[in-house]
Structures are given as structure tokens and as C-alpha cells.
Copies of this chain bind each other. A is one copy, B any other.
Amino acid sequence: MGRNVSGAAKRATIIDVARQARVSISTVSRVLNERPVADQELVVRVRAAADELGYRPNAVARDFRRGRTTSIGVVVPDLANPFFTHVLKGLANDVRAGEHRLLVVDSGEDPEEEIQLVEQLAERCDGMVLCSPRMSRAHLQAVAGLDIPVICTNRSVAGLPLGTIGVDSAVGMAQAVTHLYELGHRHVGYLAGPQSSWSDARRREGLTSAAAACGMEVSVTVAGSASDAGFTRLPDLLREGVTGVLAFNDLVAVGALARLRELEVAVPGDLSVVGFDDIPVAAFLGPPLTTVSVPKEDLGRAAWAMLRQQMQDGEVASEQWLPSALVVRQSTAPHPKRLQSGAGRRDGRRAAR
């Protein structure tokens, strides 16, 4: 039993196994990698020797020699954000099926940390997925020079040889705005996300242009990506006199709802609230949250599909956008002072486009 009893009883290598089994190291390697070996007697001896010595192949040596790692790296800005963990779930499920394993790394929303991690990780992986990368375009360009297949999610990288897959949040946002408009709202507020978020920019754009199209007034306040930001910034919008609030994401909406409860503003009676992402808790809130649902797990799956193809044929730089869709629950209702026909619709799901 080659186990360390105490201290370092040096780990058995393929040479030790070969000696013990009285064969060459080539044969040991073949047996252990299930390559054809004619003499069954040899196979038996090798397996016995490996067992006896507690031999475990040195994976780093093998990766080194093969020039491949069978690992896929994933970089996310914040593992505590449910959006990313659901993308990861989709990825993990499909990757697990194959022979690769997923190595996840959290950049802590720090662009500098992010590029460093990416460069370190790239050396130890066969391919990478960068989830909503926060790094500068210049750094993304450096990533493109890393000669390893890379997919970016929710970040446009036009002109760079990186695969892109994202959610078309403009469409979902436009649906949300239209929904509020149809309910009679004429002045809405946006609890914006982090400045470094490309998705926030897209959502804000979508909101602004949809509102402009139907002549709605929009007030914006910068919140962030977590619930306390929504809790803190919500009053800014109330002061502006909005009757509907759209949040950068569901977490921010959760904070807004809590603040409204504290202020005894009834939702949806006095004010309508719309989230974004449709994280699991959204459906369980009081009231259940009207939100824009994005296919998080599909995003992960699609990223893996794209990455795998890129690893196979070496072709890069495709682009793919998944639809988002408004899910109407119970946090939105007709404008308090202006009842109208479109009111009272509940729990429907409207497909994007």
C-alpha cells in the first residue's frame, strides 16, 4: 500500500510499476491508458503492481506531455450572483457529459484581477469561457492573442477573434416598458447596474429607446447589482414621481421591494416593479415579481457548444444572441390613477419578438 504513513515515502511513478511488474514503462503506459496490449499476462501483472504500489498517474506530467489538459476554464465576476451560477449550471451539466472538467474562477468584479486570472488560467486549460468580462477592450485583445479558444458571454467583441454568446436584453427591456405603458404608466424609473457592466448599458439603452418611442418619461439612478443598492437608491426614483420601477436585475428589485414595504408603498397598487434575470427567488417573492426572463442555463449550454466546436475545427468568432422574454407576475398593475383596458393581465409569458 504505497500510502504515506508519515512524511514523504515518495510517490510511486510509472518506473516503479514497470520494475515491479517486470515490463517496460511503455507497457505500463499502454495498460493504464487502455491501449491494446496482446499478452493478457502482462496486463494482469501491471495492474497488480500498480495496485500494490498505490500508483496514481501524475496528471500534470501527463498534461504536460500531451500538451492538453482536458480542463475548461470559466471566469465569472461574482459567484455570489445567481445569474452567473445558473449560467455555470448549464455549462457544467453539458461539460460533465464529456471528458472535460470545469475549472471556475471568481474575479471579484475586478477588471485587473480578471485579466490576470484569465492569463494564468489559459495556461492550464484547453479552452475558456469568460462570463460577462469586465476587462477593457485592450485586455480582451490580449486574450484573443492567447491562442486558446475563448468564448465571451454578454459582451460584444466585434472585430476580435473571440466567440460571443449573449442575451438580447434590449428586447426584453422593451417588452417590460411596453407592458408598463399599456398599464397606463407614463413615468418610470430605472435602478441602474454597475457602470462596468456591458449588459447594464444595453438594458439602459433598450429602456431609453423604448420609452422614447412611446413618449414615456424616464428617470435613472445608479444602484448596482445587489439588493442593498436597490434598497438604498429606490427613494431617488420616488422623489421623481415615477409610478413604475425597472431594476437592473432581480436582486436590486428585491431590495426595492423591501424598501417599498418599509415605506408602506403598496406593490403593485401604488407602484409597479419589474426585475431582470428571473432568478429562482423571483417567483416566490411577495408579490411574485414581474421580470424579464433570460435563458441562463441555455446561455451556459450554448457557450459550451460554441467552445467545443471552436476547439474542434479551430474556426473562431461566431456570434449568437439568445432571446429574453417578459414574465408577468404580480408586481405590476395599472397606473393607480388611470385605469384602462389593458389592465389586470396576469401570469402570462410573452415570447421575444
Chain A positions within 8 Å of B, measured between CB atoms, are 3-4, 7-8, 11, 54, 56-61, 63-64, 69, 71, 79-80, 82, 85-86, 88-89, 92-93, 96, 101-106, 108, 113, 117, 119-121, 123-124, 145-147, 226-227, 231, 251, 254-255, 257-258, 261, 280-281, 283-286, 288, 314
Q: Tell whether, in the assembled complex, residue B227 and residue A281 are in contact, meaning their CB atoms are under 8 Å apart.
A: yes
Q: Tell whether, in the assembled complex, residue A106 and residue B88 are in contact, meaning their CB atoms are under 8 Å apart.
A: yes
Taking CB atoms, residues of chain B closer than 8 Å to A281 are 227, 251, 254, 281
A145-B54, A226-B280 known; A85+B96 contact, CB < 8 A = no
Q: How far is the CA of A33 from the CA of B57 in the complex (A)?
A: 28
Q: Tell whether, in the assembled complex, residue B284 and residue A227 are in contact, meaning their CB atoms are under 8 Å apart.
A: yes
From the candidates B101, B106, B113, B123, name the one contacting A117 in the complex (CB within 8 A). B101
Could you write out 9 A-B pairs with CB less than 8 Å apart? A3-B147, A54-B145, A56-B119, A60-B124, A79-B89, A85-B85, A101-B120, A257-B284, A258-B284
Q: In this complex, what residue of B is CB-closest to A11?
A: B147
Taking CB atoms, residues of chain B closer than 8 Å to A82 are 80, 82
Q: Tell whether, in the assembled complex, residue A106 and residue B92 are in contact, meaning their CB atoms are under 8 Å apart.
A: yes
Sample of 9 further A-B pairs with CB below 8 A, known A103-B103, A286-B286: A54-B145, A60-B63, A88-B106, A96-B108, A101-B121, A103-B105, A104-B104, A258-B284, A285-B286
Q: How far is the CA of A64 from the CA of B58 in the complex (A)?
A: 9
Taking CB atoms, residues of chain B closer than 8 Å to A4 are 147
Taking CB atoms, residues of chain B closer than 8 Å to A79 are 79, 85, 88-89, 92, 104
Q: Tell whether, in the assembled complex, residue A257 and residue B286 are in contact, meaning their CB atoms are under 8 Å apart.
A: yes
Taking CB atoms, residues of chain B closer than 8 Å to A121 are 101
From the candidates B63, B104, B254, name the one contacting A103 in the complex (CB within 8 A). B104
Q: Tell whether, in the assembled complex, residue B60 and residue A64 are in contact, meaning their CB atoms are under 8 Å apart.
A: yes
Q: How far is the CA of A61 from the CA of B282 in the complex (A)?
A: 47
A4-B147, A69-B60, A80-B86 known; A108+B120 contact, CB < 8 A = no
Tell me the minimal C-beta distance from A54 to chain B in angstroms.
7
Q: How far is the CA of A231 from the CA of B285 in the complex (A)?
A: 12
Taking CB atoms, residues of chain B closer than 8 Å to A257 are 284, 286
Q: In this complex, what residue of B is CB-closest to A61?
A: B64
Q: In this complex, what residue of B is CB-closest to A103?
A: B103
Taking CB atoms, residues of chain B closer than 8 Å to A146 are 56
From the candidates B61, B104, B283, name the one contacting A105 in the complex (CB within 8 A). B104
Q: How far is the CA of A226 from the CA of B80 in the complex (A)?
A: 16
From the candidates B61, B147, B258, B284, name the one contacting A254 in the complex (CB within 8 A). B284
Q: Tell whether, in the assembled complex, residue B58 and residue A123 are in contact, meaning their CB atoms are under 8 Å apart.
A: yes
Candidate in A58, A284, A288 with the most chain B CB atoms within 10 angstroms: A284
